[in-house]
Amino acid sequence: MIKSVEKIRLFIVIQIIGIVLLSCEKEEFYRSSDAQLKFSVDTVFFDTVFTSIGSATQRVTVKNPYSENILISSVALARGYDSPFRLNVDGIAGILWQDIEIKAKDSLYIFVEITVDPNNSNLPLLVQDSIVFSFNNRKQDIDLFAWGQDVHLINGEILETQHWVNDKPYLVYNSMMIDTNNTLTIDPGVMVYFHKNSRMYVAGTLIAKGTYEEPIIFQGDRLEEMYDNIPGQWDGIWLMPGSKDHLLDFCHIKNAIIGIQVDTLANTAKPTLTLSNSRIENMTAVGLYAQGSTILAYNNLISNCGQFAVRLVIGGAYEFYHCTIANYWGYSTRTTPSLLLNNYYIDVYSQIQLRPVEKALFGNCIIYGNKESEIIIDKADGAGLSYKFDHCLFKVDDEFSTSDPLYFENIIVNQNPKFKDAYEGNFELDTLSIAKDKGKPEYSILFPNDINMNNRNSDAGPDLGAFERIEQL
């Protein structure tokens, strides 16, 4: 009898040990690096938040879509203690949560609030942050977006004639349009932010005249440092068919899909767009895209675009002086040249429709990049395509003939212009640049100051491109 009791006790002890050992085994989680959490929204958006008054609470659902548990290493506000947002994750308030387990097919609930303090000088008028989820050696985030009353909000509006002054930034949300026969005038120093998928449509006239000291900025609304040079954050500026008399001077347009699209019938007697002293940078598609338009452009930098830096198609009339067109796009493989010029289009019936190029003059320009050939002249017979490269430096392949003096005068072919740091976006000329002093004086007299307001006519000769090299004494 005693032995039987001891056997029972031994069996119980073994069972207990087994349970303890099993309970100590490491729980298995879904560890794939391809795993993705599913969010109820990808952006938490708060409408105008009045200063010093807290917002309403919004809820975000984070779902584990897999049949295994997921361990989230951390959930955190990207800006940490500097964030104006407040979070509550599954009932616990804070800014950082670690080792959060979401059961298979289960969800995590996060509650978000914000209070805007108008006296906080470090707080941008456009308030942003993100909730960052770290798991399986990868990250996902949910954008947090809000604005206070100290920003001009343009939310899907059609504008009549008005004047934007430099008192506080303008935020375009859900796009905007300048109506037919109306004019938007923008003062120097104005900053215009665009939310994702937003565009400025112009059916009337856009006058954006900045200065060297106070340029006008058009960019996406992500103000974190990591987004400084990320393309594709907004859609761009579209000068629509029928619009006219646009003037952009000392403007900086960056990080969109298409910087400026000029899509209107050409009036060769007067430019549809005059673009001067401006920078168009980091576009996923095209920097300047014109279809059958008339453009006068001088002292411009157009750089780093995923397709074309400048695309001039379906005819038109174009003059470019002292422009640097430089394409060192590095986010993907670029298969298109920096500059495309053609005189036709293919209609919906696959028929070629001709549209003549009345003029395409490039004077004292640089057209260069990291592709073997950076210019394509795509000419269809039966319509004129009048072009000339006069005192220019450019890069083309061996099949591109430059022997005809009707089209090419005093050109430099396939010699590196020696930008200071092309891959860092600095397209000023190095002291050993072959483009120094090679410009045509007739053009520099028309445009005596470069994009940085340096005098072109104070040394041996004007430099090619938008930047005049000033040697330090």
Please check whether residue 454 is in contact with residue 470, taking contact to mean a CB–CB distance below 8 angstroms.
yes
Instruction: Supply the pLDDT for residue 90.
Output: 87
Higher pLDDT, 342 or 20: 342
pLDDT band at 328 (very low <50, low <70, confident <90, very high): very high
Q: What are phi and psi of 274, to 5 degrees?
A: -110, 115
351: CB partners within 8 A, 6+ apart: none
- Both 127 and 163 in one domain: the answer is no
- Both 245 and 173 in one domain: the answer is yes
- Of 199, 216, 186, residue with least CA distance to 157: 199
19 CB neighbour count, 10 Å cutoff: 10
Tens of pLDDT, residue by residue over 188-247, are 999 999 989 999 999 999 999 999 999 999 999 877 677 889 999 999 999 999 999 999
414 within domain boundaries: yes
57 within domain boundaries: yes
Look up the CATH number of the domain holding residue 102: 2.60.40.10
Q: What percent of the chain has pLDDT over 90?
A: 74
Rounded to an integer, the average pLDDT of 262-271 is: 78
Q: Is the pLDDT of residue 13 over 90?
A: no
20 within domain boundaries: no
- Both 123 and 230 in one domain: the answer is no
Q: Is the pLDDT of residue 28 over 90?
A: no
Among candidate residues 147, 176, 198, the one where a domain is terminated: 147
Higher pLDDT, 54 or 215: 215
Among candidate residues 112, 147, 182, the one where a domain is terminated: 147
Q: In 3-state terms, what secondary structure has residue 379?
A: coil
Buried b / exposed e over 370-383, threshold 16 CB at 10 Å, is bbebbbbbeebeeb
Q: Is the pLDDT of residue 271 over 90?
A: yes
- Both 187 and 135 in one domain: the answer is no
Q: Is the pLDDT of residue 25 over 50?
A: no
- Both 141 and 253 in one domain: the answer is no
Domain span at 178: 151-446
463 within domain boundaries: no
- Both 211 and 287 in one domain: the answer is yes
Q: Is the pLDDT of residue 111 over 80?
A: yes
Instruction: Supply the pLDDT for residue 57.
Output: 84
457 within domain boundaries: no
434 vs 457: CA distance, rounded Å: 17
pTM of the predicted structure, to 2 decimals: 0.74
Measure CA 77 to chain center.
Answer: 24
Please check whether residue 327 is in contact with residue 417, taking contact to mean a CB–CB distance below 8 angstroms.
no
- Both 371 and 409 in one domain: the answer is yes
**Which two three-digit tokens encode residue 427?**
């397209």
CA-CA distances (angstroms) from residue 151 to 127, 227, 336, 416? 10, 21, 39, 45
CA-CA distances (angstroms) from residue 108 to 92, 227, 308? 12, 28, 44
Instruction: Supply the pLDDT for residue 4.
Output: 58
Q: Is the pLDDT of residue 308 over 70?
A: yes
- Both 259 and 125 in one domain: the answer is no
Rounded to an integer, the average pLDDT of 88-100 is: 92
Please check whether residue 107 is in contact with residue 61, taking contact to mean a CB–CB distance below 8 angstroms.
yes
Tell me how many degrees the CA angle 342-344-346 measures, rounded to the nearest 5: 125
Buried b / exposed e over 181-190, threshold 16 CB at 10 Å, is ebbbebbbbb
Please check whether residue 375 is in contact with residue 338, taking contact to mean a CB–CB distance below 8 angstroms.
yes
Please check whether residue 83 is in contact with residue 95, taking contact to mean a CB–CB distance below 8 angstroms.
yes
- Both 172 and 52 in one domain: the answer is no
Local structure of residue 26 (DSSP, 8 states): P
29 within domain boundaries: no
- Both 69 and 216 in one domain: the answer is no
pLDDT band at 471 (very low <50, low <70, confident <90, very high): confident
Of the ranges 85-89, 153-157, 167-171, 382-386, which one carries the lowest mean pLDDT score?
167-171
CA-CA distances (angstroms) from residue 429 to 17, 204, 458, 464? 76, 38, 16, 9
Q: Is the pLDDT of residue 55 over 80?
A: no
Q: Is the pLDDT of residue 31 over 60?
A: yes
87 vs 191: CA distance, rounded Å: 30
Q: Is the pLDDT of residue 7 over 70?
A: no
Please check whether residue 255 is in contact with residue 234, taking contact to mean a CB–CB distance below 8 angstroms.
yes
Please check whether residue 366 is in contact with residue 392, taking contact to mean a CB–CB distance below 8 angstroms.
yes
Instruction: Supply the pLDDT for residue 122.
Output: 38
Higher pLDDT, 123 or 67: 67
- Both 123 and 247 in one domain: the answer is no
Q: Is the pLDDT of residue 21 over 50?
A: no
Among candidate residues 90, 123, 147, the one where a domain is terminated: 147
Instruction: State the total domains in the chain.
Output: 2
357 vs 317: CA distance, rounded Å: 6
Instruction: Supply the pLDDT for residue 148.
Output: 67
Tens of pLDDT, residue by residue over 363-396, are 999 999 999 999 999 999 988 899 999 999 999 9
DSSP structure string for 198-250: -EEEESSEEEEE--SSS-EEEEES--SGGGTT-S-SEEEEEE-TT---EEEES
437 within domain boundaries: yes
Q: What are phi and psi of 17, to 5 degrees?
A: -60, -40
- Both 140 and 161 in one domain: the answer is no
Tell me how many degrees the CA angle 379-381-383 measures, rounded to the nearest 5: 85
Instruction: Supply the pLDDT for residue 344.
Output: 93
Rounded to an integer, the average pLDDT of 286-305 is: 97
The overall average pLDDT reported for the chain is: 89
458: CB partners within 8 A, 6+ apart: none
342 vs 352: CA distance, rounded Å: 12
Q: Is the pLDDT of residue 121 over 90?
A: no
17 within domain boundaries: no
